[in-house]
C-alpha cells in the first residue's frame, strides 16, 4: 500500500483510503491514479500515460483531463496550487507528493467490511437511497438470469456517475464490472468506442483471462480489434458482428454475472446504441445488466429515441435523478466541510442557489471559501467553518468552475442560438418567444422555431408553457432548467445590448396592450428601468395608479405610487420631482416610520391629488 | 355562475382524505412551475407540483413534496371540453408576480382562485401537466 499525504492507495483492493474512510474509485480512474503514484516526482507525458492505460488503442490526450479533474476533486487538490497532481502544459503531469510504502490494513477493515456496513460505502452520495435501492432490485433480477437495461438520467451535475459508482461498489466480487465512457465527438469517429473500453477491462490480462478466452472463441474479430489476437491469420472475418459479441457476453455472464456500465450515452455512436438494443431484446436468460447514464438533452440524438423505445416496450427501466432536498444538501455540506454542525442558514442558502444540484452545491461552497465568505475560525477549541458575515448578505455569484462549464456549453451553440438565449435571459428564468422576437426585432414564428429547436437539442432549456396574448393568440414560453445558466447568459451580454433588448420588449408590451397599458404597467416599468428609461418607467406606473384609483382600487394605486418612489430613490441624479408631483412624498416617508398606516395616508393624499388633477 | 369555494387545508387533512379515498383517486400529474406564485394569499415556491383529483369528493389537490402546505379545491365542469385530457395551471402575471387563477384537471376546472373575474385584459401564463 502506498501512502501520500493523508491518503493510502490500496492496490490490492483497488481503492483509496483517506485516513479511515474508504473512497470508491472507478476502475480507470484508479488506474490513472495508480500510475501517477507509482511514478512520483517526474514528468509523465500524455503518451506515456495513454500507452500504459490504453495499450494498442488510440485515445485522444484530452480524455486524460477528465480523469485528472476527477482525481483532483477526490484528493481535494487545486490545479492552480497543486499539492498532488501538477499539470505541465502541453507535456503531461507530475505527481508531486512524497510517496512511501505503508502496512496493509487489518483484515475486516477492507471492502467487505465496508459493504457490511449497509450504506457505508455510499459516502460519496447523499439523498439517493431510493435510487440505489432501485438499482439493487434490478440487479437482483439480473442475478436470477433476467437480463436488465437501466438508464440513469438527470441534468448535468445531478450525480448520475456518483450513483453508479456507489452501485458498482455495492456489487462486490460476485459480479464482473466493465465500464465504457462515451466521449463527446467520438461518436461520429469511432464505432463502438465505449464498448471497446469496457471489453478492454473485461478481458484484462490476468483477471480477465477467462473472459478473453470466451471472446477469442466466440467473437474473435472483437478480440482482434482489441489487439489481443496475436495470430491474426486465424481470424478470417475481421468485421465485428454484434450477434457474436452478444453471445459471447452472455456466455461470460453465465460464468459470473456481468455488469456493463456506459457513461454519457448521449455521446455514444449509433453502433453502440444498437448493440444495447440487441442485448436488451435477446430472449435467452442471461445474468447480464447494462447501466447507462445519460442527460435529458438533445431529443434529436438517436440515444433518446432508442431509450424511449426500450422504456415503452418495458425492455428497460429508468432511474431519473431529481434535485436533492435541503436535508440532503445539508448532509452533503456536512461531508464536504467535514463539519457536523453547520452555520445557521448555510444549507438553505446553498440549496436555494444550487437548486438541489450536487455539483453546483459543491462549487458554491468552494466559491464561498475562495471568496472568504466562509472562513475557518476557532470555536470551542476546534477549527470550524463560519460565515465571515451574515449569510443573507452573501453574494449569490456564479462559481467560477460552474461558469466555465456553462460557458463551454454556450460556446458550442451557433451565434444565432446564443443570441436567442441571450435575449431570453433578459426576461428571467422563463422567457416567452414573443419577448425574444421583440428584443431581437425578428419574426415571432422564426423565433418560436428556434426556441423549439433549442429545447429539443440543449439540455438546459425546456418548454415551460404558453403565454396567452391579448389578441387571442398564444406564444410558447421556455425555461432555463437552472438559474445559473440564465445568470451566465445574462452576464455575457453587454450592458448597452441588454438595455436595447429591454427597451424593445417594453415597446412591444405597449403595442400588445394598447389601450390597457395599466395591465402590464409593472412589467413595462421593469423593462424601462432596466433600459435606463427612468422617467418612462415612472410614467407607466403613474398611469396604472390613475387607472387603479379610478377603479376604486386605492391600495393598488398606493402600491404603484410606492414603486414610483422607489424609482425616484434609485434613479441616477433623481431629485424627487416625480414623487413630489403626485403629492405623496410625505406618505412615502410615513411608510418607513409607520408601516401599515401608510396606505391610509396615501389613500387620503390620492383623493386630494386625483380630485385636483 | 359557478360556486367556487377555495379551501386551504393542511397537509395532514389532505393526507387523511387521501387515505380514505385512495381507491377513487386518479393518477397524479406532474407540473413544473418555473416561477414562484401566490395562491390563496400563500406564496408557493417554483418547482414540481403534483395535481391529483378524487372522484368521490370532487376535489383537486395541489401538492409540492418538499413543502409543508397543500391545497384542495372543489371542481366543476366548465369551459374545458368533455374530451379535454389536459392538466393546466393558469396564472395571472403582473410584473414578476404570478397568481394562480385556475386549475384545470381534464374536463373539470376550479376557477377564480384569486377571487377575481377575468376578462383577458391582464397577461396570462399557462403551464401544462406532463
- Nearest-CA distance A458 → chain B (Å): 17
Arithmetic mean of pLDDT over chain B: 72
The answer to whether residue A34 is domain-embedded is yes
Most confident of A134-143, A371-380, B23-32: A134-143
Residues of chain B with C-beta less than 8 angstroms from the C-beta of A130: none
Mark whether A371 and A260 lie in a shared domain: no
Chain A residues within an 8 Å CB radius of B126: 465-468, 474
When mean pLDDT is compared across A389-398, A409-418, A435-444, the lowest value belongs to A389-398
pLDDT at A104: 57
- Per-residue pLDDT of B13-44, as tens digits, reads 333 333 333 334 456 788 889 888 998 788 88
Query: Are both A89 and A136 inside the same structural domain?
Result: no
Is the residue at A110 inside a domain? no
**pLDDT-based confidence at B48, cuts 50/70/90?**
confident
Within a domain: B95: yes
Helix, strand, coil percentages (3-state) for chain A, rounded to 5, are: 55, 15, 30
Question: Closest partner residue to B124 among A468, A479, A525, by Cβ?
Answer: A468
Q: In residues, how long is chain A?
A: 613
Do A447 and A500 lie in one domain? The reply is yes
Q: Is A465 on the interface with B (CB under 8 A)?
A: yes
CA-based nearest distance B34→chain A, Å:
7
Same domain membership, residue A456 and residue A376: no
Q: Do A465 and B125 touch (CB under 8 A)?
A: yes
Residue A224, in any domain of the structure: yes
Across A85-89, A378-382, B118-122, least confident range: B118-122
pLDDT cut 90: percent of chain A above it: 38
pLDDT value at residue A267 = 87
CA distance B16 to B14: 5
Contact at CB, A523 and B35, closer than 8 angstroms:
no
Assigned domain for B56 exists? yes
CB contact under 8 A, A464 and B120: no
C-alpha cell at A194: 465505449
More confident residue, A578 or B69: B69
Instruction: For residue B63, give the H/E element and its range.
Output: strand B59-63
CATH no. for residue A68?
1.10.10.10
**Shared-domain flag, residues A337 and A453:** no
Domain with B84, as residue range(s), is 7-128
* Inside any domain, residue A113: no
- For residue B123, which residues of chain A lie inside 8 Å, CB to CB? 467-468, 470, 513, 519-520, 523
pLDDT at A550: 86
Helix axes A554-570, A521-530, angle to 10 degrees: 0
B71 lies in some domain: yes
Position A265 confidence tier, pLDDT thresholds 50, 70, 90: very high
Which residues of chain B make contact with A429, given a CB cutoff of 8 A?
34-35, 46
In this structure, the answer to whether residues A224 and A277 fall within a common structural domain is yes
Q: How much is the pLDDT for A586?
A: 34
Q: Do A519 and A372 belong together in one domain?
A: no
Contacting residues of A for B122, CB less than 8 Å apart: 519-520
Average pLDDT over residues A280-301: 85
Check residue A174 and give its pLDDT: 86
State whether B128 and A465 contact (CB < 8 Å).
yes
CB contact under 8 A, A522 and B128: no
DSSP output for A22-78: EE---HHHHHHHHHHHHSTTSEEEHHHHHHHHSTT----THHHHHHHHHHHHHHT--
Is the pLDDT assigned to residue A139 strictly greater than 70? yes
Q: Is residue A281 part of a domain?
A: yes
The larger pLDDT score, comparing residue B101 to residue A611, is at: B101
C-alpha distance from A325 to closest chain B C-alpha (Å): 7
Q: Are residues A482 and A589 in the same domain?
A: yes
Q: Indicate if A493 and A533 belong to the same structural domain.
A: yes
Pairing of strands A288-294, A148-153: parallel
Of B34, B120, B125, the CB nearest to A429: B34
Q: What is the mean pLDDT of residues A313-319?
A: 93
Average pLDDT over chain A, rounded to whole?
83
Does the residue A192 lie in any domain? Answer: yes
What angle is formed at CA B22 by the lines to CA B21 and CA B24, rounded to 5 degrees?
70
The yes/no answer to whether this complex scores an ipTM above 0.90 is: no
For residues A313 and A330, membership in a common domain is answered with no
Helix, strand, coil percentages for chain B (3-state, nearest 5)? 10, 50, 40
Contact pairs from chain A to chain B, CB under 8 Å = 57
d(CA A436, CA A448): 9
Please tell me the predicted confidence (pLDDT) of residue A296.
Answer: 65
Contact A519 B128 (CB under 8 A): no
Q: Show which of residues 288-327 on chain A sit within 8 Å of chain B, judged by CB atoms.
A: 322, 325-326
pLDDT tens sequence across A99-111:
777 765 443 333 3
In the predicted structure, residue A585 carries a pLDDT above the cut 60 = no
**CA proximity to A248, closest of A181, A206, A192, A203:** A203
Q: Are A239 and A220 in contact (CB under 8 A)?
A: no
Flag whether pLDDT at A457 surpasses 90. Answer: no
Max mean pLDDT among A79-88, A131-140, B80-89 falls in A131-140
Name the band, by pLDDT with cuts 50, 70 and 90, for residue A96: confident
Name the minimum distance, in Å, from the CA of B120 to any CA of chain A.
7
Average confidence (pLDDT) over A181-192: 81
- The more confidently predicted of residues B3 and A155 is A155
- The answer to the question of residue B1 being in a domain is no
Q: With bands split at pLDDT 50, 70 and 90, how would you rate the model's confidence at B67?
A: low
Look at residue B2 and tell me if it is in a domain.
Answer: no
Gap from B56 CA to chain A (nearest CA, Å): 30
Residue A191 placed within a domain:
yes
By residue range, what is the domain housing residue A330? 326-397
Count up the domains in chain B and report the number: 1
Q: What distances in angstroms separate CA A492 from CA A160, A416, A422, one per listed residue? A: 29, 14, 8
A108, part of any domain: no
Q: Within a domain: residue B92? A: yes
- The answer to whether residues A425 and A556 belong to one domain is yes
More reliable by pLDDT, A608 or A168: A168
Asked if residue A430 has pLDDT above 70, the reply is yes
Give me the phi and psi of A403, to 5 degrees please: -60, -40
User: What pLDDT, on the 0 to 100 scale, is given for residue B77?
Assistant: 72
Q: Which of A430, A467, A479 lies closest to B123 in CB terms?
A: A467
Does the beta-carbon distance from A322 to B121 stay under 8 Å? no
DSSP character at residue A481: S
The DSSP letter of residue B117 is -
When mean pLDDT is compared across A247-261, A438-452, B73-87, the lowest value belongs to B73-87
pTM: 0.62
Residue of B nearest to A464 (CA): B127
Confidence band of B65 (pLDDT split at 50, 70, 90): low
Q: Binning pLDDT at 50, 70 and 90, where does residue A508 land?
A: very high
Domain boundary among A101, A118, A148: A101
**Are both A136 and A167 inside the same structural domain?**
yes
Count of structural domains, chain A: 4
Residues 6+ apart with CB under 8 A from A422: A489, A490, A492, A493, A497
Give me the pLDDT at residue A194, please. 93
Amino acid at each position: 500500500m502506498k501512502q501520500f499525504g493523508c491518503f493510502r492507495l490500496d492496490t490490492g483492493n483497488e481503492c483509496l483510503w483517506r485516513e479511515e474512510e474508504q473512497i470508491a474509485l472507478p476502475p480507470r480512474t484508479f488506474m490513472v491514479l495508480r500510475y501517477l503514484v507509482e511514478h512520483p516526482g517526474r514528468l509523465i507525458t500524455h503518451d506515456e500515460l495513454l500507452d500504459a492505460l490504453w495499450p494498442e488503442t488510440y485515445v485522444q490526450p484530452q480524455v486524460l483531463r477528465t480523469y485528472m479533474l476527477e482525481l483532483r476533486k477526490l484528493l481535494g487538490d487545486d490545479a492552480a496550487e497543486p499539492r498532488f497532481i501538477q499539470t505541465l502544459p502541453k507535456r503531461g503531469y507530475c505527481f508531486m507528493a512524497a510517496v512511501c510504502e505503508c502496512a496493509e490494513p487489518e483484515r475486516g477493515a477492507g471492502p467487505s467490511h465496508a459493504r457490511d456496513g449497509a450504506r457505508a460505502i455510499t459516502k460519496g452520495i447523499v439523498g439517493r437511497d431510493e435510487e440505489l435501492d432501485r438499482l439493487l432490485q434490478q440487479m437482483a433480477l439480473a442475478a436470477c438470469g433476467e437480463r436488465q437495461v437501466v438508464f440513469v438520467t438527470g441534468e448535468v451535475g445531478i450525480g448520475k456517475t456518483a450513483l453508479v459508482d456507489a452501485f458498482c461498489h455495492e456489487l462486490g466480487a460476485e459480479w464482473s464490472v466493465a465500464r465504457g465512457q462515451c466521449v463527446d465527438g467520438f461518436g461520429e469517429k469511432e464505432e463502438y468506442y465505449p464498448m471497446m473500453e469496457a471489453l478492454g477491462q473485461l478481458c484484462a490480462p490476468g483477471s480477465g483471462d477467462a473472459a478473453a478466452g470466451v471472446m477469442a472463441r466466440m467473437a474473435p474479430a472483437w478480440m482482434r480489434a482489441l489487439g489481443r489476437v496475436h495470430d491474426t491469420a486465424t481470424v478470417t472475418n475481421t468485421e465485428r458482428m454484434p450477434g457474436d459479441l452478444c453471445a459471447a457476453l452472455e456466455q461470460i455472464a453465465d460464468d459470473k454475472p456481468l455488469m456493463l456500465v456506459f457513461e454519457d450515452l448521449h455521446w455514444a455512436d449509433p453502433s453502440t446504441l444498437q448493440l444495447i438494443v440487441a442485448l436488451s431484446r435477446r430472449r435467452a436468460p442471461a445474468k447480464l445488466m447494462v447501466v447507462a447514464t445519460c442527460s435529458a438533452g438533445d431529443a434529436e440524438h438517436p440515444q433518446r429515441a432508442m431509450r424511449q423505445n426500450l422504456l415503452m416496450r418495458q425492455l428497460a427501466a429508468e432511474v431519473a435523478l431529481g434535485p436533492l432536498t435541503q436535508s440532503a444538501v445539508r448532509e452533503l455540506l456536512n461531508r464536504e466541510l467535514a463539519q457536523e454542525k453547520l452555520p445557521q442558514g448555510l444549507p438553505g442558502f446553498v440549496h436555494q442557489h444550487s437548486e438541489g444540484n450536487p455539483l453546483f452545491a459543491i462549487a458554491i461552497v468552494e466559491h464561498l471559501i475562495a471568496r472568504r465568505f466562509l472562513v475557518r475560525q476557532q470555536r470551542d477549541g476546534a477549527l470550524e467553518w463560519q460565515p465571515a458575515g451574515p449569510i443573507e448578505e452573501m453574494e449569490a455569484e456564479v462559481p467560477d468552475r460552474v461558469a466555465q462549464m456553462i460557458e463551454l456549453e454556450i460556446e458550442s451553440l451557433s451565434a444565432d442560438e446564443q443570441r436567442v438565449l441571450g435575449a431570453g435571459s433578459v426576461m428571467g428564468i422563463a422567457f416567452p418567444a414573443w419577448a425574444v422576437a421583440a428584443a431581437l426585432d425578428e419574426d415571432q414564428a422564426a423565433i418560436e422555431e428556434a426556441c423549439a429547436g433549442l429545447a429539443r437539442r440543449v439540455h438546459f432549456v425546456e418548454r415551460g408553457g404558453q403565454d396567452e396574448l391579448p389578441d387571442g393568440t398564444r406564444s410558447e414560453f421556455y425555461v432555463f432548467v437552472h438559474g445559473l445558466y440564465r445568470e451566465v447568459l445574462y452576464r455575457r451580454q453587454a450592458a448597452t445590448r441588454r438595455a436595447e433588448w429591454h427597451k424593445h420588449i417594453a415597446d412591444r408590451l405597449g403595442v400588445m396592450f394598447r389601450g390597457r397599458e395599466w395591465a402590464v404597467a409593472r412589467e413595462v416599468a421593469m423593462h424601462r428601468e432596466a433600459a435606463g428609461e427612468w422617467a418612462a418607467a415612472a410614467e407607466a406606473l403613474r398611469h396604472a395608479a390613475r387607472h387603479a384609483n379610478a377603479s376604486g382600487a386605492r391600495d393598488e394605486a398606493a402600491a404603484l405610487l410606492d414603486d414610483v418612489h422607489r424609482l425616484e430613490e434609485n434613479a441616477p441624479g433623481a431629485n424627487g420631482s416625480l414623487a413630489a408631483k403626485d403629492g405623496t412624498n410625505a406618505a412615502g416617508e410615513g411608510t418607513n416610520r409607520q408601516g401599515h398606516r401608510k396606505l391610509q395616508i396615501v389613500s387620503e393624499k390620492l383623493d386630494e391629488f386625483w380630485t385636483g388633477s | 355562475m359557478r360556486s367556487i369555494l377555495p379551501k386551504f387545508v393542511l397537509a395532514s387533512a389532505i393526507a387523511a382524505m387521501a387515505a380514505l379515498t385512495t381507491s377513487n383517486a386518479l393518477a397524479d400529474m406532474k407540473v413544473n412551475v418555473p416561477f414562484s406564485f401566490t395562491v390563496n394569499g400563500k406564496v408557493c415556491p417554483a418547482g414540481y407540483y403534483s395535481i391529483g383529483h378524487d372522484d368521490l369528493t370532487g376535489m383537486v389537490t395541489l401538492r409540492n413534496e418538499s413543502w409543508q402546505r397543500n391545497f384542495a379545491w372543489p371542481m366543476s365542469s366548465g369551459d374545458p371540453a368533455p374530451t379535454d385530457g389536459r392538466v393546466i395551471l393558469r396564472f395571472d402575471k403582473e410584473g414578476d408576480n404570478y397568481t394562480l387563477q385556475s386549475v384545470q384537471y381534464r374536463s373539470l376546472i376550479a376557477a377564480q382562485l384569486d377571487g377575481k373575474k377575468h376578462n383577458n385584459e391582464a397577461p396570462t401564463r399557462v403551464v401544462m401537466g406532463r
